[in-house]
Chain A
Amino acid sequence: MGVIERDPHTGHGTTGHEWNGIKELNTAVPWPIWAFLIATVIFSVVWWILMPAWPLGDTYTKGLLGADVRQNVATDLKSAEEKRSIWASRIEKEELSAIMSDSELMQDIRETGHALFGDNCAACHGARAEGGPGYPKLTDSAWLWGQTPDAIFETIRAGVNSGHPDSRFSQMPAWGRDQMLDRKAIIDVSAFVKSLSDANKGGNGSPEQLAAGQKIFVDNCASCHGSDAHGAHQTGAPDLTDNTWLYGGDAASIYESIYNGRQGHMPAWESRLSNADRKILMIYLLDLGQNSP
């Protein structure tokens, strides 16, 4: 044991130990610390008495309040469902025109649709349904599968190339990769396709090239895209004469679409979202489209 000294600053004695110059005071533990410790212990004991706390073999102390997280979640979900069902059940039952002319109901749809769309659809279609390369914009008039409420609802339910039994099939063949057309033919038909939406009609192709392209188009493409190239909702083939492009309207993207083909994938939501939710989304999209410039 070393010598017990007194620290001049605090007046407390040391323990008499010393390590490489470090000493320790033997200061008593200040009372607030004990008080604080006791308070936290009391808090814990009270909590243990009220709540599920200690294991007892294959069961546990249930606590006086009978709290149970699983039950809490179940009741919370149920009461939320009840609150919602007041208006949600109307959506399932009522006619579209009635719903869309009821401003209060539409307010519910806009609020709910925003979160539903944000959590389920925005990752592909963009937060405001503005689309992006490979993912269609959902607020314009260029619909691949039709703009009727039923068509939109059906796309959401069954998806596109989704594996759902009623899925829509979107197959743009790979003309180049699968050797159905040679390189020159693809270049020609690309130029033709580009000329369809180009303001000065000629695009960059010579008249001979466009003529050759047109012929290839009529022979190979018209069956899906239509002889006027306006697309067809039965095949999901896009209108090639407008300025809306799913995969891009520059020469390289068009060439790529034709050479390697395209098979967009849109998941089926039937098993993931309730009927009411899907209907809300459909109306939400229609509403967005009406209100977007």
Chain B
Amino acid sequence: MISTLTDTERQIALVISGLLSLVGLVLSAAGRHDPLGAQGFIILAFGLSGVFLVISGFHLPEPTEKRFSHYYDEPIKAGIIIAMLWAIVAMFVGDWVAWLLAYPEMTFDAAWASFGRLRPIHTTGIIFGFGGNALIATSFHVMQRTSRTRLADQLSPWFVLGGYNLFCILAVTGYLMGVTQSKEYAEPEWYADIWLTIVWIAYFALYLRTLARRKEPHIYVSNWYYLAFVLVVAMLHIVNNLAMPVSLGSSKSYTVFAGVQDAMVQWWYGHNAVAFFLTSGFLGMLYYYLPKRAGRPIFSYRMSIIGFWGITFFYVWVGSHHLHYTALPQWVQTLGMTFSVMLLVPSWIAAANALLTLNGAWHKVRDDATLRFMMVAALFYGLATFEGSFLAIRPVNSLSHYTDWTVAHVHAGTLGWNSMIIFGAFYYLVPQLWKRERIYSPVLVEVHFWLAIAGIFIYVFAMWNSGVIQGLMWRTYNNSGTLAYSFIDSLNAMHPYYIARATGGLLFLMGAVIGFYNICMTIRSSPAAAKTRNEQPATIGQSRLRPGE
């Protein structure tokens, strides 16, 4: 890894790691009476390993000029493996908390094992750890391939990837110690938030610099989506995390917003995290890997355009649909609801564009599980966006809100759409990046696919049922004019569904473990014989090089 950096980059890397260690040292000293101290130590350890890593490779020869004419794939490879590790950890914790809901006494009387602390480990680990690393890795791949140019430099991708993972680690270890802002999907505290802001700006700059070097006249759709993801997430992250730390030695901070404004800002953030993290970025992935694997042209460029601008414009309005029937003024709820309904059209345009792209390649979908992963992802994207718009309609929401229906909806999206497209993209990428003939075992890809499908169906159907039952129980009146069921009655009714859900989750987790094994075995297998092709971005004077894949 260090051998691919230039001498200057190695020096800068050393300085950055040194500074990071220093920050870690200061925080661990300042926060020694607080969980912040432990977090400081993690930063220190991270910084020191950086220093150690750079020094250990410091005197290796610089990469030759020829190396710079190749795509820079090392950070992508690292990103894929890290993403898979997060997937397994976070899905494991997810299934754990699923069992915990069925058997709530399973906490060993330990604070760290309580639902409130484990649940954000699952969500952060899966959204940011798994999803985020997959987005970063694939975006590095797509931006280079569609721009026909190498990443702008060697250090920034590592800074982005490493820094981002430091953020994720700080987040989940913090939760175990009870550190949280109590904002869903924005739980990490101020110091982690500041760090992520720095990392994110570097990411954005890297993206723009790479695009600026592109050798293609036009910018491909995937890049629009990835850029929207990076840009809007930066905005959301900064605004929602505006907070005042209690002191430099304390992990606790207080948000600058109060009351219903706080709720509104939080859900403007929360929903757009779904929109720009879990939708926009992932559509970038879909728009590259699906046509690539299917070997088909995108069905309609025009649909790409209205899909993109529709999604980008409508999404930012809809956050208030998370606050129906609350203290939020009704007019804000109306806007959230109506824009959610209109949002369905561009969402379906994107899904339809992907599915219609498969016209002429359906036989491949039948035979190739990798492509089938992507196809199913597009289907679930369509399903989840329909359901989302439906649940945003106020009368529907009065039944569904706060119930497991929401959980079903989220997991149709995250399991069916996000995870499936990532797995599809990874199965496509791994043999290519490591220059292998094919994936180690196509049969295992097939097994993974069916485990995942079974898991999703069990999960989603269980939660649909449970959610509707719950919603109905909460609103049923008896003849005396009082509510017929107590809350605990509804919990008892959920019990069998919770067991089913946890079982579905377990199947999905098993699939991911098999996938990781398959990926590792592919990497360990011997490289494809002689015909290893070095993909190169076109260099000046050379004829237009089509990096064959």
Contact = CB atoms under 8 A, between A and B. Distances in A.
Interface of A: 1, 7, 9-10, 12, 14-15, 17, 19-29, 33, 36-37, 40-41, 43-44, 47-48, 51-55, 60-61, 63, 67-69, 80, 83-84, 87, 107-108, 111-112, 114-119, 122-123, 127
Contact of A118 (B325, B329, B486, B549): B486
A80 B483 CA distance: 10
A27 B306 CA distance: 13
Given A27-B303, A112-B480, A40 B486 contact: no
Contacts of B301: 15, 17, 24-27
A24 B145 contact: no
A61 B488 contact: no
B300 interface: yes
B302 A9 contact: no
B342 A84 contact: no
Contacts of A23: 297-298
Using C-beta atoms within 8 Å of the partner chain, give the interface range for chain B.
Answer: 35 or more
A22 B148 contact: no
A41 B342 contact: yes
B360 A21 contact: no
A28 B360 contact: no
A114 B483 CA distance: 9
Contacts of B481: 80, 83-84
Contacts of A41: 342
A20 B146 contact: yes
B216 A19 contact: yes
Interface stretch (B333-341, B445-453, B518-526): B333-341
B488 A69 contact: no
Nearest to B214: A19
A111 B479 contact: yes
Given A36-B348, A48-B334, A55-B331, 20 more contacts: A10-B299, A17-B217, A19-B148, A20-B148, A21-B549, A24-B221, A24-B298, A24-B301, A27-B301, A27-B302, A33-B349, A43-B338, A47-B337, A53-B331, A53-B335, A68-B330, A69-B325, A80-B481, A111-B478, A112-B482
Contact of A84 (B148, B218, B480): B480
5 contacts: A28-B302, A33-B306, A108-B480, A111-B480, A118-B485
B330 A52 contact: yes
A166 to B, nearest CB: 28
Contacts of B39: none
Contact of B145 (A14, A19, A60, A115): A19
B345 interface: yes
A53 B332 CA distance: 7
A61 B331 CA distance: 8
Given A9-B359, A40-B344, A53-B335, A14 B482 contact: no
Nearest to A85: B481
A51 B297 contact: no
Nearest to B548: A21
Interface string B511-549: 000000000000000000000000000000000001101
A87 B549 CA distance: 78
B304 interface: yes
B173 to A, nearest CB: 32
A54 B331 contact: yes
A40 B345 contact: yes
B329 A122 contact: no
Contacts of B46: none
B356 to A, nearest CB: 8
Contacts of A61: 331
A67 B478 CA distance: 27
Interface in B292-349: 292, 296-304, 306, 325, 329-331, 333-335, 337-339, 341-342, 344-345, 348-349
Contacts of A27: 299-303
B489 A10 contact: no
Contacts of B92: none
Nearest to B147: A19
Contacts of B218: 17, 19
Contact of A119 (B148, B297, B486, B492): B486
A114 B145 CA distance: 65
B291 interface: yes
A79 B222 CA distance: 55
A51 B351 CA distance: 31
B220 interface: yes
B291 A25 contact: no
Contacts of B482: 84, 111-112, 115-116
B198 interface: no
A60 B331 CA distance: 7
B306 A29 contact: yes
Contacts of B303: 27, 29, 33
A22 B331 contact: no
B288 interface: yes
Contacts of A48: 334, 338
B536 to A, nearest CB: 12
A51 B334 contact: yes
A117 to B, nearest CB: 7
B487 interface: yes
A61 B489 CA distance: 42
